[in-house]
Structure 1
Amino acid sequence: MNSAELQRVLNWLIDGAWSAQEPAEMIADFCERLVAAGLPLWRFGIFIRTLHPEIFGRNFIWRQGEDVEIGSVDFDVLDTPEFAQSPLRIVFEQSVEVRGRVDDPNSKRFPIVDDMRAEGATDYIAVPLPFLDGSTHATSWMTRQPGGFSDDDIAAIRAIIAPLARVSEIISLRRTAEMLLDTYVGNRAGARILGGQIRRGHNDTMQAAIWLSDLRGFTALSDRLPAEAVVTILNHYFDCQVTAIRGHGGEVLKFMGDGLLAVFPIDEYVGDAAHVCAGVLEAARESRASVEALAIPVGDAVERFRFGVALHVGNILYGNIGGGNRLDFTCIGPAVNLAARLEKITGRLGRTVVASEGFANVCRHDWHELGEFPIAGFSKAQRVYGLADETYAQVG
């Protein structure tokens, strides 16, 4: 391998691989530079473990002449026979290099060597990718060169690891921040925070459809069931809503015990209020069906559930609110307050879905007028609407 060309690749990495905008582009550029420098690379993989409640890691696979494949694996992979027999398991657990050659009898313990032989590959090496936080990630390098990688090739790969690890860690940290913000505050809020809206007073006014829901009988449920069972119930219950909300363009801003606050932004310049609200209503119908079908065994009994959701549309103040150095990215305003009051009416009326007059006027539907109700904090009584296909008897 040409040492001068290798140094150019190292300098490119040290400079931050600035010519590439996305990770997949960076990996493709990186591999093509190495091949041009004389490394007989046919396949390259980089495997980054993630800080995510469901995803164990992400992988990027480059093959000569093909686009980079991007994938992810969940934690179930740790219990599979394939992972148990993979060189990457040894890399993750022991932080050591693992080599497999088609002409080496000792390499037969790795099933990947048979796959290599079928694809015409001759040599494979998995190399740890250490991050500064002490975590170990992995790279894999494969060649079709007769006789496999030379000693100079292996030395070049080892020389590349340190700068590759620094660039990968920077990219990984950015993605970890995005995933954590997405997990805990929502995608749009996370993007705003990463974009610099981190000070108290950084707020925007936004028109949105508002969703505020609550689980019926949660206080009594919490009193008679073990805490672990209540947590399990809440997680399944929220799953029934979050999938529908996100599937129709909404963002969950907050979980409040058994309550859920979500918003569906409306682009006032496009004039898509009717379309957005129609999606909100469909999400409410889907959630209703999912909650009605939810049955969780607890001891000798099976728990069934009902919930209520209020739908409203209006302007909200969206941004950082809090005290000292503890802020919350949320939304406030009279529209949110009205949605919260309407949600309480769902229980009084034995309804699952209720809508404000404003929402019903935007989302033309077969609504059933439920009457006018005085709302605490509002000078005028509010007209409330329900779905015509709900025929529950009025409660209290």
Structure 2
Amino acid sequence: MGAVDFRVSSILLDRVAEWLTNSSLAGDDLENIVRGFCERIAAAGLPIARVHLTFSMLHPLYDALSFTWRRASGVTIEGYRHTAGQKPDRFLQSPYYYLLDNNLQHIRRRIPAEGPAEFPVFADLRHESITDYLAFVQPFGDGSVQGMMGSWSTDSHSGFSDDMIEALLRMQNHLAVAAKMAVLGKLANNMLTTYLGGDAGKRVLNGQIRRGDGETIRAALVMGDMRQSTMYAEKEGRQTYIDTLNQFFDAIAAPFNRNGGEILSFIGDGFLAVYPCGRHKDPSKIACQAALSAVHQAQSRVAELNTERQEKGLSKISYGIGLHVGNVMFGNVGLKDRLTFSAFGSAVNEVQRLQALTKKYNNEVVASQAFAGYCGGEWTTLGEEKLRGVRQKITVLHPRAPAPLLEVEESYVEAPQTALSEAEQVILLHRDARKQAQSPVPEKFIQ
């Protein structure tokens, strides 16, 4: 761009700040806030050619994202995933790392069209005709590692004026507040979904927060449990046992969080999953068939896990699964100031006792007659059992042949578990470097 006199309109920038406030109050997500903000500061007259924003929460539940806005093409979103053995050179040689390493809040550099580049990213920016670059670190609180890193770039021949820099720093603060609100909203949603489940989490967010709030639903029920867990804990030690338990849950429980199913709770080394359905035959049939399909997916996944474990010289993991259908009560129970969202009722007790019968019948999966009747297919009758709290004996069955596997819903495809944004990568590298400087590591341990 040629030498143009860009005058910053404080009136228009105040409108952008007002828009950020309204977006925060409306609960807009981070993507919409970033996109809307960048478009508006450009429309207000700032000669911005490129904006890069990356957020650090250092939290396992937050979807790590980085946003790059370009005047010509709009916003692109990049997810980050840590790869073992990944070379950190691009992060160590970034302006962001320089900011942290020198305890700076801002770094500004003019980018000449030719000559050596101070940072590798500057070579890329030259291809976009960038002339001036301003990077920043914006913590979300004193002493916090959570926050926002970013950079403003212009292709104006004269670069950023002092008025432009003042305007950008002022807008940066407004953006940080709006971004923090969006990130915290996302975290709250993820926390509740992770610890309570999707449906229960939504109920709590929608106001079911008082003791006694809840309802009764009809559902196909799945109760799973790992065998010989006490032996694993005593034999392998705490951390190895926890790792084994998480591997088991990853293999066996994940299929029940798809196709209408939801993990309601993890109970020690077991879990309870529900497939809500109506009280009529067809909805019950669909729910039971979805649950049985997930059972066979879970069996296949555990078999793969056991093959991997045996190749490593580890013991095989055994388990039992009970299947039932009935009414489930769930809601808030506990103390007035310490609640849990729990499922209870006779059907929950019955599926738990059915699961325990897998030991007696030496079968991984057993089901009630009610479940098998709705599900259809081929079943082997194992016997009749008197369950505690149930007047009549119930028939216990075992599925003879695998049910047809249902197609996995796209919304339930497992996401990467170790996603890290660029800001998180830089912060962790900087933290590790400082630890190494304070406590030198023998050369033989450096890989």
Same fold (TM over 0.5): yes
Aligned-residue CA RMSD (Å)? 2.8
Greater Cα offset, 378-387 or 250-259:
250-259
Question: Among residues 284, 307, 315, which one is paired with 1:303 in the alignment?
Answer: 315
- Cα deviations by residue, 1:284-331 (Å, 9 ceiling, x for unpaired): 111111212224669x84211121111112211121111232211121
1:361 to 2:387 alignment: no
Q: Contact (CA 8 Å) 1:56, 1:74: kept in 2 or not? A: no
Q: Contact (CA 8 Å) 1:92, 1:136: kept in 2 or not? A: no
* Structure 1 match to 2:105: 96
More strand as a share of residues: 1
Cα distance between partner residues in 1 of 2:82 and 2:190: 16
1:239-254 counterparts in 2 under 5 A?
239-254=250-265
Q: Contact (CA 8 Å) 1:213, 1:343: kept in 2 or not? A: yes
Cα distance between partner residues in 2 of 1:28 and 1:264: 38
The total of aligned residue pairs comes to 390
Cα distance between partner residues in 1 of 2:48 and 2:235: 63
Greater Cα offset, 266-275 or 137-146:
266-275
Flag structure 1 segments of 5+ consecutive residues without an equivalent.
391-396
Q: 1:230 to 1:21 in 2, by over 3 A?
A: closer
Cα distance between partner residues in 1 of 2:281 and 2:95: 53
Q: 1:363 to 1:124 in 2, by over 3 A?
A: farther
* Structure 1 match to 2:295: 284
Greater Cα offset, 20-29 or 259-268:
20-29
* Structure 2 match to 1:352: 364
Corresponding letter in the other structure for 1:352: E
- Cα deviations by residue, 1:4-40 (Å, 9 ceiling, x for unpaired): 2222222333455568844322222212221111111
| TM-score, normalising length: structure 1 | 0.88
1:142 to 2:153 alignment: yes
Corresponding letter in the other structure for 1:85: Q
Cα distance between partner residues in 2 of 1:159 and 1:84: 28
* Structure 2 match to 1:333: 345
- Cα deviations by residue, 1:59-110 (Å, 9 ceiling, x for unpaired): 2332225453334324559963222222233456645223344318898242
Question: Among residues 235, 243, 250, which one is paired with 1:232 in the alignment?
Answer: 243
- Cα deviations by residue, 1:178-231 (Å, 9 ceiling, x for unpaired): 111122221221111111111111001112221111112222222322222111
Corresponding letter in the other structure for 1:11: E
Q: 1:342 to 1:79 in 2, by over 3 A?
A: farther
Q: 1:92 to 1:177 in 2, by over 3 A?
A: farther
How far is 1:375 from its partner? 0.9
Q: Contact (CA 8 Å) 2:96, 2:149: kept in 1 or not? A: yes
Q: 1:21 to 1:170 in 2, by over 3 A?
A: closer
| TM-score, normalising length: structure 2 | 0.79
Q: Contact (CA 8 Å) 1:55, 1:72: kept in 2 or not? A: no
SS of the equivalent of 1:379 reads coil
Q: Contact (CA 8 Å) 1:291, 1:307: kept in 2 or not? A: no
1:169 to 2:203 alignment: no
Q: Contact (CA 8 Å) 2:33, 2:179: kept in 1 or not? A: no
Question: Among residues 47, 67, 75, which one is paired with 1:68 in the alignment?
Answer: 75
Q: Which has the higher contact order (CA 8 A, sep 6+)?
A: 2
